[in-house]
Amino acid sequence: QRSRVELITRQAAVLSGSAWFEAVFRQLDADVTLDWEAQDGESIGAGQRLCVLTGPTRALLTGERTAMNYLQTLSGTATRASRYAAAVAGLPVRVLDTRKTLPGLRLQQKYAVLCGGCYNHRIGLYDAILIKENHILAAGSIAAALAAARAGNPGVTIQIEVENLAELAEALSAGARLVLLDNFTLEGLRQAVVYTAGRAQLEASGNVDLNTVRAIAETGVDRISVGDLTKDVTAVDLSMRFV
> Which residues are marked as active site?
65, 100, 132, 161, 182
CB 192 within 8 A of CB 162: no
Quote the CA–CA distance of 180 and 223 in Å, as a whole number: 9
The distance of Cα 169 from the centroid of its chain, to the nearest Å, equals 29
Q: String of b and e for 112-140 (b: at least 16 CB within 10 Å)?
A: bbbbbbbbebbeeeeeebbbeeebbeebe
Task: Tell me the HSE value of 12 on the side-chain side, using a 13 A CA sphere.
Answer: 3
Quote the CA–CA distance of 52 and 11 in Å, as a whole number: 18
